[in-house]
Amino acid sequence: MHNSAFWDLAQDRALAVLVALSLLLTLRIWLGIPMWDAGFEPFNPRTSNPVDPGLGNVLAPGVILIHQGRDAHYGLPNGTDDFNAVWQGGKTLVQALSAISGLRRDAPPATEVAQARTDGPSLEFVFDEGYQLSTLAKVLNAEIQEADVTVDRLIMLASKTPVIYVRTYPKLEYLAYTVKAESTEVFSLVKKGLSQSVPRYAELPKTIGELQVSPGTYAPRDTLQMAPLNVQADPTPADGVLSTFFVDLKILRTIVERDGATIYSDGKRGARAYPAGAVEYNQPQPGDPEPDKVAAIDRAARFAVQHGGLPATACVDKVIPGTKAGESTRVVFGFRFSGIPVIGVRGIISVSLNSKGVEAFLRNFRIPIGQTGTSRSVLGARDALVSIASQSDKLFGDVSPGQVISMELAYLVGAPSEQVEALKPVWKVEFSSGASVVADAYTGQATRRSAQ
């Protein structure tokens, strides 16, 4: 009896296994699904390279300025403890956006905003790009009555009657909003004490040589000491990233270039794997450019997360919108090391996308090891702009770059490399025309990063 029950159970289980096996084999034959041993190991991102930093963090401002009255201006670079204490994972901005009453005064005199910065106390979010306020609010789960304004600055003035100013982009004009009476609590943060290590900032003069500087552009006031940053090649295997694009690399045409890079193609899509681990992917599919920068960043970040991941400290380096049908919008990511952006000549991670999908992708990620050598004084912001002004013929030709709208210190990554590379600090300067310049922070030697 006991044996009979065991035999029944064994037969039931054998039948179940056979049915499951038949389904599996049918699936393989009909759908052409490769067997596990035929494919590559599933992509397993390293712990030092987390896959999803979250859109809220990617869109966070590059620096928060604190104006405490007269010439007491302080800058909190993203990624530092002081920044995190004020930013609170975006909670501060959410509260500020929610506090907007919707009553706005268009274009207050520039002197009023300048006075607000001088009088203080006020707190200014300086974003890396111009974002539509409503989309920003949506990403951060904030409720906001204003909808159609693209802004790159938001200033919270904690005066007797609290006010919020925003700077529109790309016109660089200011709007002023009244604040709901019941929502003034967040303004108490503006008066928060700062640690001793927070760097002093100063407003840049409106003209330096032939360069025009947008009013309200701040940079570190004191001469800083910086050492080069050592970075090494991303150890993530290129095959692992490539297998997120192609089911089976073994069925693709390959071209091994003289520099050792390998190009894979299925006839419609192509990918290039550099010996140093960088990966480039192309799938030409002309469409309309993505007009909304936040939507473009969201799509680009999701794509990057699916194909190798984004660094935990990823930030937006640049968004270059397509201007006509057939062009793509290019989103360029960098990442922060101790609050300092690490950017690439072509981007650390770059995604070009349009209405049809992603046309191009570049991943040239490096693992920071730490600073190397002795710290040296870098050029001050003013001196760096003087140097750029002296090279303006070479940099801009006859075309005006427009006003300087932001500048910050960064580390610049070059071409893919297998070697440990010491990255020099650079001044990254953005202009209202869209031009971007990097200047060696030790020597002032400047180069253009992108076309206008």
Of 14 and 181, the one with the shorter C-beta distance to other proteins is 14
Q: Which stretch binds other proteins (CB under 8 A): 155-163, 260-268, 355-363, 412-420?
A: 260-268
Rounded CA separation 177/199 (Å):
29
Give the distance between the most distant pair of CA atoms in the chain.
Answer: 101
User: In this structure, which amino acid lies at residue 165?
Assistant: Y
Least separation in angstroms between residue 362's CB and other proteins is 20
Judged by CB, which is closer to other proteins: 28, or 171? 28
Q: 180-187: long-range contacts (C-beta < 8 A, 24 or more apart)?
A: 180/99, 180/100, 180/101, 183/95, 183/98, 183/99, 184/99, 185/95, 186/92, 186/95, 186/96, 186/99, 186/156, 187/156, 187/158, 187/162
Which single residue is written with the structure tokens 């979250």?
A: 54
Token digits of residue 242: 């490539």
Q: In which region does residue 30 sit, left (phi positive, over 0), alpha (psi from -120 to 50) or beta (all else)?
A: alpha
Site string for other proteins, 265-304 (x = CB under 8 A): -xx-------------------------------------
Q: Does 254 bind other proteins (CB under 8 A)?
A: yes
Q: Which of 6, 9, 19, 181 binds other proteins (CB under 8 A)?
A: 19
Closest to other proteins by CB, 260 or 357: 260
Collect all residues with Cβ–Cβ distance below 8 Å to 238 and sequence separation of at least 6.
273, 274, 277, 278, 279
Among 18, 107, 147, 420, binds other proteins (CB under 8 A): 18
> In this chain, which of 9, 147, 181, 251 binds other proteins, going by CB under 8 A?
251
Give the whole-angstrom CA distance, residue 297 versus residue 300.
5
Tokens at residue 448, please? 């253009």
User: Is residue 415 close enough to count as binding other proteins by CB under 8 A?
Assistant: no
Helix (H) or strand (E) holding 58: helix 55-58
Q: Which is nearer to other proteins, 1 or 451 (CB)?
A: 1
How many chain residues touch other proteins (CB under 8 A)? 28
b/e string for 49-58 if b means 16 or more Cβ within 10 A?
bbebbbbbbb
255, 325, 345, 415: which one contacts other proteins (CB under 8 A)? 255
Q: What is the C-alpha to C-alpha distance for residues 289 and 295, in angstroms, rounded to an integer?
A: 11
- Nearer to other proteins (CB atom), residue 6 or residue 46: 6
**Shortest distance (Å) from residue 263 CB to other proteins:** 8
Q: Which of 105, 171, 191, 253 binds other proteins (CB under 8 A)?
A: 253
Piece in contact with other proteins (CB under 8 A), picked from 24-32, 187-195, 296-304, 423-431: 24-32
Under rule CB under 8 A, residue 257 binds other proteins: yes
Determine contact, residues 201/220, Cβ cutoff 8 Å.
Answer: yes
Q: Considering only residues 35 through 54, tell me which ones interact with other proteins, judged by CB under 8 A.
A: 35
Residue 377 binding other proteins, by CB under 8 A? no
Determine if 418 is a binding residue for other proteins (CB under 8 A). Answer: no
Structure tokens at 187: 């303004």
Check residue 15 for interaction with other proteins (CB under 8 A). Answer: yes
Residue 36 CB, shortest distance to other proteins, in Å, is 13
Closest CB 31 distance from other proteins, rounded Å: 11
Tokens of 150: 């693209």
Count of CB atoms situated within 10 Å of the CB of 174: 24
- The verdict on 260 binding other proteins (CB under 8 A) reads yes
| 420 binds other proteins per the rule CB under 8 A | no
User: In this structure, how many other beta carbons lie within 10 angstroms of the beta carbon of residue 365?
Assistant: 28
Nearer to other proteins, 200 or 250 (CB): 250
Q: Does 14 bind other proteins (CB under 8 A)?
A: yes
Minimum Å distance from CB 394 to other proteins?
A: 28
Half-sphere exposure of 276 (CA within 13 A, CB side): 19
Q: What is the rounded radius of gyration, in angstroms, for the C-alpha atoms of the chain?
A: 26
- Which residues lie across from 316 on neighbouring strands? 333
Residue 207, C-beta contacts closer than 8 angstroms, at least 6 positions apart: 213
Say which DSSP state 61 is in.
-
21 interacts with other proteins by CB under 8 A: yes
Q: Does 13 bind other proteins (CB under 8 A)?
A: no
One residue of 1, 3, 5, 29 binding other proteins per CB under 8 A: 29
Nearer to other proteins among residue 22 and residue 88 (C-beta): 22
Which region, judged by CB under 8 A, interacts with other proteins, from 225-233, 257-265, 316-324, 366-374?
257-265
Residue in the block written with tokens 């290039």:
272
User: What is the number of residues in the chain?
Assistant: 452
Q: What is the DSSP letter of 289?
A: B
CB of 341 to other proteins, least distance (A): 35
Provide the minimum distance between the beta carbon of 41 and other proteins in the complex, in angstroms, as a whole number.
18
Tell me which residues touch other proteins (CB under 8 A). 8, 11-12, 14-15, 18-19, 21-22, 25-26, 28-29, 35, 248, 250-258, 260, 263, 266-267
